Chains A and B, each alone.
Chain A
Amino acid sequence: MTMMDVERSQSAKYRLQVIDCDIHPAMTSWKEIHPYLEKRWIDHLAVYGSHLRHAFSEALSHPRMSPDAARVDAYPEEGGPPGSSLDLLRKQHLDPNGVEIGMLIPLRWNPGSQRNLDLGVALTRAMNTWQVERWIRQEPRLRASVLVAQEDTEGAVAEIDARGGDPNFTQILLLPRTDEPLGRRRYWPIFEAAVRNNLPITIHVGGTGGHPSTAGGWSSYYMEEHHMVAQAMQAVLASLVFEGVFERFPTLRIVIMEGGLGWIPSFTARMDKHWNRLRSEVPQVKRPPSEYVREQVWFTTQPMEEPGSSAALIDLFDRIGWDRLLFATDYPHWDFDDPRTAFKANLTEAQRHQLLYGNARTFYGFDQ
């Protein structure tokens, strides 16, 4: 019996029940947000356009082998980019994959790294309302993420407070390529607002902060950059830990989204090792770094590691903590994880259910 056969026989036994923490909605045209954007900014975009902190403002930093970084089979028949059709989202993903709740993670236009801070804040307001009006009103299985323009802390905090308490919004969304490492104090009012509104902060790979996309500089190939998403997440975690963010905000909850998983145990162990020796440089870090991560950081599963053996994957989950893992598909992107086949391991039904559904249900409070 091959691994695939094992998976099929296991998943056939019961109905799929999934909470998908990473679905990327798209617009058929940017005019979709015009109803929620002030006339002043519609005019601004028409005259000046959008200006991000790296070249080719509206392009990804590296061309993907797949247009729109999307599954080839995710283009709607009626036209428009993958992720723009609610009908196809239902037929291709939510219905057949048993998705009871799906989190919207809008990525394009990067309001958080707009050079014009006021435009960035205006875009977050419009795109947050767009998530509710265009998606959730039509499809109650979906939930929105509060986009914020993190380089304008005041504007970001105002938007968090405006959406806090609205059950359509389950989290605050940031991208890891911020102007400064995310744990720096200029961003602390955002963490404070997150705690005040009881919203976790989700950090999804990407961003156009202007820094090179790898720690070694701008790479030649997408494949290089695609591996280096883990570097960006490591930089975020180290900054949050050593700046003392977790100590200062003990109820802050962070979700690391799409950063891979294999590196987490070795990275936290290395932070502990160095803290044992160099602690006096960062006395604000009162406990071993791995403890903060274990208590205040969650990780989404996609793109799932494929170490080649069931035991290796289960060992990895043991080391990260089974209750820290939140299932995500990344629909409609090319590296989509199918809930039936993503985990190439011999999981018990209880383990599989915990990963696909139970953990996210508890984490986001859907069980209350």
Chain B
Amino acid sequence: MTRHVVATVDQIPPGQRLLVTLAGREIGIFNIAGEYFAVGNRCPHNGASLCKGRVVGLVEASEPGSYQFSRRGEFVRCPWHGWEFDLRTGKSRCEPDRTKVRSYDLKVEPGGALTDDTLRAETFSVSVEQQYVVVEI
């Protein structure tokens, strides 16, 4: 596993996303109300760039005519065919076991913890005062 420092936390505000390429893989980093999640950018259905999709919540109905809306901003909806993926798990809403996007381990760490040698090869320097988003792949 290699750790990649991808951004400072304030570069990805709540509700926003950042597309990065790590070791040749396109990965989308999403901020859901202060929590960060990383998923692959390729929709497992037909290959669209998932990170171009809208971030949506979950609409459910306990019975016809009775609607509930929850988990605002916790799903990304494919820009082509509309598949909804849970950003926390990468699983699709309709086929969670069969159709899922790769999700990656992600941590938020203070700059002071990132100053070991393995991380100095990143293209930007690490300052100790900031909080950083770190992806492991």
Contacts and interface: CB of A to CB of B under 8 A. Distances in A.
A73 B46 contact: no
Contact of A73 (B44, B45, B52): B52
Interface string B23-61: 000000000000000000000111111001110000000
A116 interface: no
Contacts of A4: 44, 47
Given A65-B82, A335-B81, A72 B44 contact: no
A66 B82 contact: yes
A147 B81 CA distance: 28
Contacts of A335: 80-81
Contacts of A341: 45-47
A98 to B, nearest CB: 15
Contacts of A334: 80-82
A72 B52 contact: yes
Given A4-B44, A341-B46, A73 B79 contact: yes
Interface string B3-14: 000000000000
A336 interface: yes
Interface in A181-240: none
Contact of B47 (A65, A71, A72, A340): A340
A335 B79 CA distance: 10
A72 B53 contact: yes
A4 B49 CA distance: 15
A337, A338, A340: most-surrounded residue (chain B CB, <10 A): A338
Interface in A338-367: 338, 340-342
A342 B46 contact: yes
Nearest to A335: B81
B46 A72 contact: no
Shortest Cβ-Cβ A-B pairs, 3 listed:
A72-B79, A73-B52, A341-B46
Interface of B: 44-49, 52-54, 79-82
Given A71-B80, A73-B52, 19 more contacts: A4-B47, A65-B82, A66-B82, A71-B79, A72-B52, A72-B54, A72-B80, A73-B49, A73-B79, A334-B80, A334-B81, A334-B82, A336-B81, A338-B47, A338-B48, A340-B47, A341-B46, A341-B47, A342-B46
